[in-house]
């Protein structure tokens, strides 16, 4: 990708800003056909069981409601650490994701578990706030213990063609994250085309994203396999260009184990086995955890358990 301009970070370091008008064009028919083929793969029993455990370990359990209370967050953290008391030996989830005001509560509840605390920031989910407000929001979350920050891009600026604004804002939030990893939410349901999803992915990665993420979960459509495939291919191309691994997080609309396993097949074929860990791949889908637990319980006992045997997220 050609480089046309430079920017200075707050530390005075000069960094390159690519020309984002020259991103690759996407073959929509080809992407949709290839994504559909991943859903036709069959998995043997042992592979399926290992895949289900892997899916569970990749989930970011999430509560992002105006009615969130400390008690609700503590309950979610307990579930994160103890997915199913009747099924010993299961892995924990990857992270618990909350609003910045609940980060301190989650951090204390998860102490010693190894589970990350993620926090949405930057005026989630709309992103409609001045940059200084977004930076303060981010710094507040990190100061209270967030290991990861999930930010939203300014979709209005993106649609107006102000790609350098979007790039600079992501770079500023990355700087505000300090030690915390940054997941950049594209809100693909508002972008409209695969070409725009690819362009937004490239902007985010070049600006310093550690992960790119499909959606807030507040807009439909959220994650889809074709959109995720476009983003995975962007990650692959960025890795070939720079040697830097970037994580991927589809979020919203993935509630069934079978679908989650299709996503893992796709990740393995596009990026390879190195990405099949929760360091590089996550699911933003709390309801998925219960379906995975239901499937694992069925494999252990031979019987399906009713949904009320599992705690609501």
150 catalytic? Reply is: yes
Q: Which of 147, 196, 249, 291 is catalytic?
A: 249
Give me Rg for the CA atoms of the chain. Answer: 19
Type and span of the H or E element at 117: strand 116-120
Q: Would you give the DSSP letter of residue 16?
A: E
116 catalytic? Reply is: no
- Annotate 83-120 with b (16+ C-beta within 10 A) or e (fewer): bbeeeeebebbbbbbbbbebbbbbbebbeeeebbbbbb
Pairing of strands 3-8, 14-18: antiparallel
Q: How far apart are CA 313 and CA 303, in angstroms?
A: 23
**CA-based nearest residue to 77, from 121, 124, 111:** 111
DSSP, residue by residue, 44-87: -HHHHHHHHHHHHHTBEEE---TT--HHHHHHHHHHHH-S-TTS
- Annotate 43-60 with b (16+ C-beta within 10 A) or e (fewer): beeeebeebbebbbbbbb
Q: Which of 60, 137, 147, 150 is catalytic?
A: 150
134 catalytic? Reply is: no
**CA-based nearest residue to 209, from 260, 159, 164, 244:** 244
Angle formed by the axes of helices 131-143 and 163-177, to 10°? 20
Q: Which of 116, 174, 183, 213 is catalytic?
A: 213
Residues that are catalytic: 150, 213, 249
């Amino acid at each position: 990708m050609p480089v046309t301009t430079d920017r200075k970070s707050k530390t005075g370091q000069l960094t390159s800003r690519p020309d984002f008008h020259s991103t690759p064009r996407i073959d929509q028919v080809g992407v949709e056909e290839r994504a559909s083929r991943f859903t036709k793969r069959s998995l043997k029993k042992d592979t399926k069981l290992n895949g289900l455990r892997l899916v569970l370990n990749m989930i970011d359990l999430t509560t992002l409601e105006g009615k969130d209370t400390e008690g609700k967050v503590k309950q979610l953290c307990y579930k994160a650490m103890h997915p199913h008391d009747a099924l010993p030996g299961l892995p924990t989830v990857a992270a618990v994701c909350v609003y910045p005001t609940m980060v301190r509560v989650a951090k204390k509840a998860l102490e010693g578990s190894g589970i990350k605390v993620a926090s949405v920031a930057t005026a989630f989910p709309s992103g409609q706030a001045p940059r200084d407000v977004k930076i303060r929001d981010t710094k507040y979350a990190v100061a209270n213990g967030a290991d990861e920050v999930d930010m939203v891009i300014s979709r209005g600026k993106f649609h107006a063609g102000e790609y350098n604004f979007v790039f600079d804002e992501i770079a500023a939030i990355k700087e505000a994250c300090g030690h915390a990893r940054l997941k950049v939410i594209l809100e693909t349901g508002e972008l409209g085309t695969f070409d725009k999803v690819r362009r937004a992915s490239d902007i985010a990665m070049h600006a310093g994203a550690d992960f790119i993420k499909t959606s807030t979960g507040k807009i439909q459509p959220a994650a889809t396999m074709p959109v995720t495939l476009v983003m995975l291919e962007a990650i692959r191309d960025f890795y070939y260009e720079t040697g830097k691994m970037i994580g991927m997080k589809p979020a919203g609309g993935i509630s069934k184990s079978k679908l989650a396993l299709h996503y893992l097949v796709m990740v393995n074929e596009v990026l390879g086995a190195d990405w099949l860990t929760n360091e590089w791949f996550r699911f933003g889908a709390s309801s998925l955890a219960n379906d995975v637990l239901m499937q694992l319980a069925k494999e252990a006992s031979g019987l399906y358990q009713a949904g009320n045997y599992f705690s609501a997220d």
